[in-house]
Structure formats: structure tokens, C-alpha cells
Amino acid sequence: MLTLWIPASHPRRESLLIREKLVDGFKRGLVVPEGLIAHGRGECFDYLIGESTQPFAIRAIEAAVAALLLAKHPVISVNGNTAALVPRDIVELAREVNAKIEVNLFHRTREREEAIAKWLKEHGAVEVLGVGEDASATIPELFSERRRVSPRGILVADVVLVPLEDGDRTEALRKMGKTVIAIDLNPLSRTARAATITIVDNVVRSLPLMVVKAREMKNLDKSRLEEILRNYNNNSTLQEALKYMLSRLKELSESKLTLFWEEK
Amino acid sequence: MLTLWIPASHPRRESLLIREKLVDGFKRGLVVPEGLIAHGRGECFDYLIGESTQPFAIRAIEAAVAALLLAKHPVISVNGNTAALVPRDIVELAREVNAKIEVNLFHRTREREEAIAKWLKEHGAVEVLGVGEDASATIPELFSERRRVSPRGILVADVVLVPLEDGDRTEALRKMGKTVIAIDLNPLSRTARAATITIVDNVVRSLPLMVVKAREMKNLDKSRLEEILRNYNNNSTLQEALKYMLSRLKELSESKLTLFWEEK
């Protein structure tokens, strides 16, 4: 397969480089074909938010970091796409907020669990839960391999960060009483709507920003962190994200769209 | 890899079945990983047009069929995703409008050209251009393997149907003076904006509809076909598609979005 040479001036350069990173993760056995399709879906929504981190995402990131810092047992749940795109940032965030890292796959195979754990360790992770025998606990309301979690990780977590998770699992975690932080570019997805805090942003921008915020915010008083969390409203976040996409589409729909000369 | 069992009641059933078809095409060597990502991107825009063929797409389809029926040398350019999703419809449309079929790949390899040609022939194609030595001509302004076309096909075509094409190639074909018909779910893509006629619809719905329209319209007078083409305005199509997406997003943004109970 070819790796494309992408000119520095290409209007979609950034997006194409991320895409190549994911295809690389696919070749390494971290990502499944379904993960590539899901990524494309995200690309479209990223385009609609202008491929940059908007204020509604920054507020969600602050609330998320507050929740992680206040948590007794925070866990970062990692799937193939997240591992392929931001392995180092996952490890750094886990270190800053003292969270465990757990592999949690929709299409679970032993090979892929191990490939992801190995990849995360190459990027500095000391311990990776949810691999093989460690994923011996189950969460209610989910079927087959998707219900398996680590008894030292997601099972006992009070706060779970799920970048790029599916709706069923997000709902199941909420029903278990956990605080769920999702990173999802689609504000209309069931994941986005079921999570406690939804960061509507690309994981390649928001995870590094979470690391920076964690370093800043870990010096804050507990009462200040609680205040940030209390003042956060996820429904407003989702509505603002949609409104922003709306305003971008509106602006574009009023301009001339065709690129070639036409009579009319 | 797993094939998922999808309940008949699943809200995303249709979309998931199409996805499985594409993953199957991937396993057959027709589709590349980048094609899976591109498909995901389309899915999102499809969601925004309600996963159904809208009036702006039907008007574009009629203009497209008129252009194909009026053409001296119509060609249907086929890539991996199109071949995986609608092989039979490509063959039938080619037959109805008397068009040639040409394989045209962004990530061109001999194996893939041949796999796609074989797949199309299994679905009834008699001749498939653009494979191996046949792709000996080049089109200006494009680099490397992407510039190769058949001297009996795209090179001499006056009308080219390019389902799921990239922007560079669409622009290059326009600059050669050809009428380009694109099928693209993203009305903001460079392909959509550079094409002469843009069908903003899913290829799995629009290609079968083009076959039906071709059967109806081939009995029309030449002057009537010319009139349909003359009255068509692509900028309006793109604006209407965007406005429709806008209205769907607007409606959604005004409803309550979070799924779980919250204090505020």
C-alpha cells in the first residue's frame, strides 16, 4: 500500500496526515476495518466544527479533568483508534490524573488486545489492564466479548474516560452509576448523548489539551474542582456544538459553491 | 474479522449493512483502507440528508442521465468503493446509456485493477477499460499513477460519470473540457464543487435510480434532453443540499439531547 506524499499547501493536509496514522495503526493490527469507517464518520463532523477545538469543547475538557482529578478510581478506556492516534497522550494523561489504562475493544481478540498493550507500553505505559485473563469481570446489559472488563479497572472505576466509545457501552456504564467522559465528534451520537461529559472534538487535539489542563488544574483546591464540575451542563455543550455546526453550514450555504465558470 | 449480526429493529441497520458490504469488498482486495475512511465520511453526510434521496438529488440524476444519453463517448469511471457497493448497477447503467466502464483508482495497483475488473465481469460487464497496459494515456495536471487513463475511455470521453471521485481528478477532467457528473454526499467537497452535475446522494440509492431513469428517458426526444440539461443549475443543487442538512441539524439542535436524567 502507498503512503501518499501530501503537499504542505494541501487544504486537507492535517486531516490526511491523521488518516495515514490510522492506516498505519491498521497495518500494525491495532485498528479494525470498522474503526477506519468510524474514523471517516468523525472526519465529517470535524470538518463541520472547523477542525479546531471550540469553546464548548474546552469547557467540557475542564469539567472532565476536574472529574478525573476528583475521582477515587479513574480509568482511561482505550480502543484501537485511540491507541493508534494518541498513544503518548493517553500515557501522560493517566500519569497526571493517576488513572489506570484499560484496553476495551468492540471487536475483541487476544491478538489485538496484546498489540494495543504493547504499543502503549512502547509509548511509556507501565501497566495496561484488560488484556487476556485480566478482563475477567463483566458489565451488565452487554453481550459477548463486549461485556468483559478488568476487575481492577473499569469494574470498580467511579470515573471512566471513553474516547471513541460506542453507545451501548456508554449507556451500560452510566447505568452502573459511573461518571462517563466521552470524546466524540458527533454531538448526536448515542455515546455523546448518554455520557456525563461529552468533549465534542477530535481526539488528536483534545487529549493533548487534557494533559496540559491536568497539569494546570491539579494544583487547584478540591472545592474549586467541585465547583467546575457543578457548573457544567452537558446538554448545553451538545446544543452549542450543534449550533456551531449549523452556523458554519448556513454561512457556506449562502456562498457560491461551484468552482468552475457557469452561464447562470 | 467478525460479521456482526444486526437486529431488524436497529436504527442504523441499513447503514450497517452497507458498511458490511464495503468491508467485504475490502477483504476481496477491491477496497483500500483509505476507501473505508472515505466511506465513513460519506455516512455522516448521508445521515444529515436523512439517508434518503432528496429532490435536489433527483433533479441532478435527471440532468446526469440526459447528459449521458446525449453524449458521444460516455464513460463510467469506477473505483474500489463503487465496485464493492453497486457492481450490477454500474453494468446496467452502462448498458442503458451505451457507456464504457473504466477502472480508475487513486491507489492504483495492478492487482486491484484486475480484482475490480474481474468483480465487474462477474456482475455482467463485457468490457472493462483501464486495466494494466490499457491505462496508457495520461491526463494533464495530475501526478504519478493517478494520471493514467485508457485512450479508448476517459481520454476521449465527452461525459464522465465519477461516483466517489477525488477533487484533483475532477478538476483535471473539467479543465480538459469534459462534462463531469459526480456522486458525492458532501456538497462542500472539491469534487462536488468542481463537477458539472453533482448528485448529492448515496451511491447505493442513486445508481439504481439512474438505471430506472435511463430506461424512462431514453425514449425522449433529443431536444427534450437538451432542455433538461439547459435548465439544470449545479450551484442551486449544492445550496439546496446544504440548506436541507442545515434544517435537519437545526431541528435536532432544538430538542433535549442528553439521554440521562440531570439536575439542570
Task: Classify residue B171 as left (phi > 0), alpha (psi -120 to 50) or beta.
Answer: alpha
By the 8 A CB rule, do B244 and A221 touch? no
Per run of 10 residues, the mean pLDDT along chain A (length 264 residues) is: 49 78 93 90 88 96 98 97 97 98 90 96 97 88 77 96 88 94 92 96 97 97 98 95 88 78 49
Of residues B244 and B107, more confidently modeled = B244
Number of A to B CB contacts under 8 A, please give it.
Answer: 141
- Contact call for A259 and B171, based on CB within 8 A: yes
Residue range B12-46, pLDDT digits in tens: 677 778 888 998 999 999 999 989 999 998 888 99
Give the nearest partner residue to B264 out of A43, A233, A262, using CB atoms. A233
- Contact call for B257 and A242, based on CB within 8 A: yes
Look up cell 464504457; give the residue. Answer: B100
Whole-number pLDDT of residue B159: 98
Task: Provide the pLDDT confidence category of residue B185 given band limits of 50, 70 and 90.
Answer: very high
* Bridge partner list, A162: A182
- ipTM of the prediction: 0.78
Q: Between residues 185 and 204 of chain B, which touch chain A (CB distance below 8 Å)?
A: 186-188, 190, 192-194, 196
DSSP code for B72: S
Task: Provide the pLDDT confidence category of residue B201 given band limits of 50, 70 and 90.
Answer: very high
Chain B positions touching A263 (Cβ under 8 A) are none
Whole-number pLDDT of residue B264: 43
Chain A positions touching B171 (Cβ under 8 A) are 259
> Mean pLDDT, to the nearest integer, of B83-108?
95
Q: Between residues 36 and 55 of chain A, which touch chain B (CB distance below 8 Å)?
A: 36-45, 47
Tell me the shortest Cα–Cα distance from B91 to chain A, in angstroms.
Answer: 26
Whole-number pLDDT of residue A1: 33
Whole-number pLDDT of residue A4: 44
Q: Which residue of B has its CA nearest to A6?
A: B143
> Mean pLDDT, to the nearest integer, of B178-197?
94
Whole-number pLDDT of residue A264: 43
Question: What percentage of chain B reaches a pLDDT higher than 70?
Answer: 92
Q: Which residue of B has its CA nearest to A247?
A: B246
Whole-number pLDDT of residue A88: 97
Q: By C-alpha distance, which of A54, A238, A186 is closest to B256?
A: A238
> Mean pLDDT, to the nearest integer, of B58-81?
97
Whole-number pLDDT of residue A254: 78
Rounded Cα–Cα distance for residues B121 and B85 (Å): 15
Q: Between residues 217 and 256 of chain A, which touch chain B (CB distance below 8 Å)?
A: 233-235, 238-239, 242-243, 245-246, 249-250, 252-254, 256
Chain B positions touching A11 (Cβ under 8 A) are 190
Q: Which residue of B has its CA nearest to A180?
A: B260
Q: Between residues 74 and 103 of chain A, which touch chain B (CB distance below 8 Å)?
A: none
> Looking only at Cα atoms, what is the longest distance across chain A?
68
Residue range A3-47, pLDDT digits in tens: 445 556 656 677 778 888 999 999 999 999 889 998 998 888 998
Q: What is the pTM of this model?
A: 0.83
Tell me the shortest Cα–Cα distance from B30 to chain A, in angstroms.
Answer: 13
Look up cell 425514449; give the residue. Answer: B219
Whole-number pLDDT of residue A125: 97
Whole-number pLDDT of residue B263: 41
Mean pLDDT over all residues of chain B? Answer: 90
By the 8 A CB rule, do B126 and B100 touch? no
- Per-residue pLDDT at B141 exceeds 80: no
Task: Provide the pLDDT confidence category of residue B7 given band limits of 50, 70 and 90.
Answer: low
